[in-house]
Amino acid sequence: KATDKIMGDEDCAFRSLLTAAPPLLNCDHGDPTMFEAYWNAHKDDHVKVGYANDTLSYFVKSKEQEGCPWFVSALLDDAIRELHSFVGNAVTGDRAIVVGNGSTQLFQAALYALATRDGTSTPVVSEAPFYSAYREIIDYLQSKLFHWAGDSKTFHPKANETFIEMVTTPNNPCGTMREGLGLGDKGTIVHDLAYYWPTYVPIISSFDSDVMLFTLSKCTGHAGLRIGWAVVKNPAVAKKMAEFVALNTIGLAQDAQSRAAGLIRTVIRGYGGKRRQDHCIADDNFEISLSDPKYLLAHEIRITEALLAKKFFHWSRQVMESRWVKVRSALAGNKNFSLQNNVASATHTFSTCTFSGTSHSTYPAFIWLKCEKEGTDCQMILKRNGILGRNGALFGVSTQYARLSLLDHEPAVDLLVERLTTLEC
């Protein structure tokens, strides 16, 4: 049973004796365990772990980049560039790749590199609802170089004041594609592209901005490897970011880098090494077109998970799409709550994904829910219904909003959908 799986078998029997209330289903964090289903099917793929005489130096075999110890292994640097050119979501030519312990470290490295250092503290803003960790991390750091200045919509820079704008696109929590407010020529935008993968959105163009942050956590799902990377145009900024990583953690684990490179290569290999547009390969000699329903009907071939399992992004998008179908139907007709995500509906237009060649909507990693009753606390209401979400206030908006992760294992998502179906105010 789904509930047994979430709580652990002994726990389940024990707790139900003590309380009649359903145990809370934790949808607070965006832990990407959904991807386990794919990697379980590929667990025998060779992903290098290493030998006893590896990793004896702080420094890795890296590409010579202006004599700076970047800490990025040549292997991972190549794999990242290949992945971006394969997916078509970011330009990497003539750009530096800086790696970090998750993009969480690189966010801090970017602030360190971009702060003005003229004796004043540089304001950092982001449009609400913003990714909650930006404010939390900046507040905790208490840096003299920068400070949190809140929602960019209500921020008015002083004359000649430079500032940093975090632009998350697609956005966490709501999934909207964002361009940033710009706010004149004194702002530097850092693009957080954690979710700019075909799993969550149609890829519409190759991003080419000054500082772009990515993370393996939301790409392949390997959050535990703690691998993030920044694609940076200005070599001086890249160097400063690498300096932060050096000061902060003296680089990052080389084993994790090797594994990350291996996983990225596995994803690319699943497509036969090259982009196939809307074609899906069943085996080496047999090709079917996903966009041709007549063919599929005539041959009674269903696009099974097994068939798609080879193709990572096709598989993950299909999983997200099916989750959104279930979520929408669970909340359909519930007048007390509304989905605030910009996701597929009868009226919402789809975009053609340049990666897959197919037309589809966005499938955000999070449900962004609003309780329509004025002055309510959506998180508390969800809690009463057995669901633990994250309060809208942490994202810079009212408590009428709450965020729920959609990246958990399938049984947990099914249980979430079950509870959303009967959600009461």
Q: Contact with ligand PMP (CB under 6 A): which of 7, 75, 114, 194?
A: 194
Q: If DSSP codes are grouped into helix, strand and coil, which group holds residue 359? A: strand
Decide: 342 and 174 in contact? Cβ < 8 Å. Answer: yes
Q: Does 172 bind ligand PMP (CB under 6 A)?
A: yes
Residue 183: C-alpha distances to residues 84, 118, 324 (Å): 29, 21, 34
* Minimum CB distance to ligand PMP, residue 418 (Å): 25
Q: How far is the C-alpha of 322 from the C-alpha of 374, rounded, in Å? A: 32
Which stretch in 99-107, 236-244, 281-289, 297-305 sits in contact with ligand PMP by CB under 6 A?
99-107
**DSSP per-residue string spanning 380-401:** HHHHHTTEE-EEGGGGTS-TTE
In 3D space, the residue among 124, 221, 115, 224 whose CA is nearest the CA of residue 168 turns out to be 124
Token code pair at residue 314:
């096709």
Nearer to ligand PMP (CB atom), residue 30 or residue 180: 30
- Is the N-terminal amide bond of 32 cis, ω within 30° of 0? no
CA distance 173 to 402: 9
Q: Of 220 and 318, which has the nearer Cβ to ligand PMP?
A: 220
Candidate residues 73, 168, 220, 316; the one interacting with ligand PMP per rule CB under 6 A = 168
Q: Give, in order, the Cα–Cα distances in Å from 407 to each of 232, 242, 303, 404.
A: 28, 31, 22, 9
Binding segment toward ligand PMP, per CB under 6 A, in 46-54, 96-104, 319-327, 407-415: 96-104
> What whole-number distance in Å separates Cα of residue 91 and Cα of residue 176?
21
217 binds ligand PMP (CB under 6 A): yes
Asked if 396 is part of the footprint of ligand PMP (rule: CB under 6 A), the reply reads no
Torsion of CA 298, 301, 302, 303, to 10 degrees: -110
For ligand PMP, the closer CB: 203 or 307: 203
Binding mask of the shown chain, residues 130 to 149, with x at each position contacting ligand PMP by CB under 6 A: -x------------------
- Is residue 406 near ligand PMP by the rule CB under 6 A? no
Residue 7 touches ligand PMP, criterion: CB under 6 A: no
Q: Tokens representing 147?
A: 């400070």
Alpha carbon 412 to its chain's center: 19
Choice between 386 and 392, CB closer to ligand PMP: 392
Q: Is 26 in the site for ligand PMP (CB under 6 A)?
A: no
The candidate with the shortest Cα–Cα distance to 392, out of 175, 173, 192, 180, is 173
Among 16, 33, 104, 143, binds ligand PMP (CB under 6 A): 104
Rounded distance, CA 257 to CA 247, Å? 19
Q: Which is nearer to ligand PMP, 195 or 313 (CB)?
A: 195
Q: Which residue stretch of 46-54, 100-108, 181-189, 379-387 sits at the interface with ligand PMP (rule: CB under 6 A)? A: 100-108
Please say which residue, 75 or 216, places its beta carbon nearer to ligand PMP. Answer: 216
Alpha-carbon span 46 to 40, nearest angstrom = 13
Which of 170, 180, 221, 228 is in the footprint of ligand PMP by CB under 6 A?
Answer: 228
* Candidate residues 77, 127, 165, 192; the one interacting with ligand PMP per rule CB under 6 A: 192
How many residues belong to the site for ligand PMP (CB under 6 A)?
13
Q: Does 103 bind ligand PMP (CB under 6 A)?
A: yes
- Figure out which of the listed residues 73, 92, 126, 215 binds ligand PMP, where binding follows CB under 6 A: 215
Q: Which residue has the tokens 């880098």?
A: 257
The residue ranges that bind ligand PMP (CB under 6 A) are 30, 102-104, 131, 168, 172, 192, 194, 215, 217, 223, 228
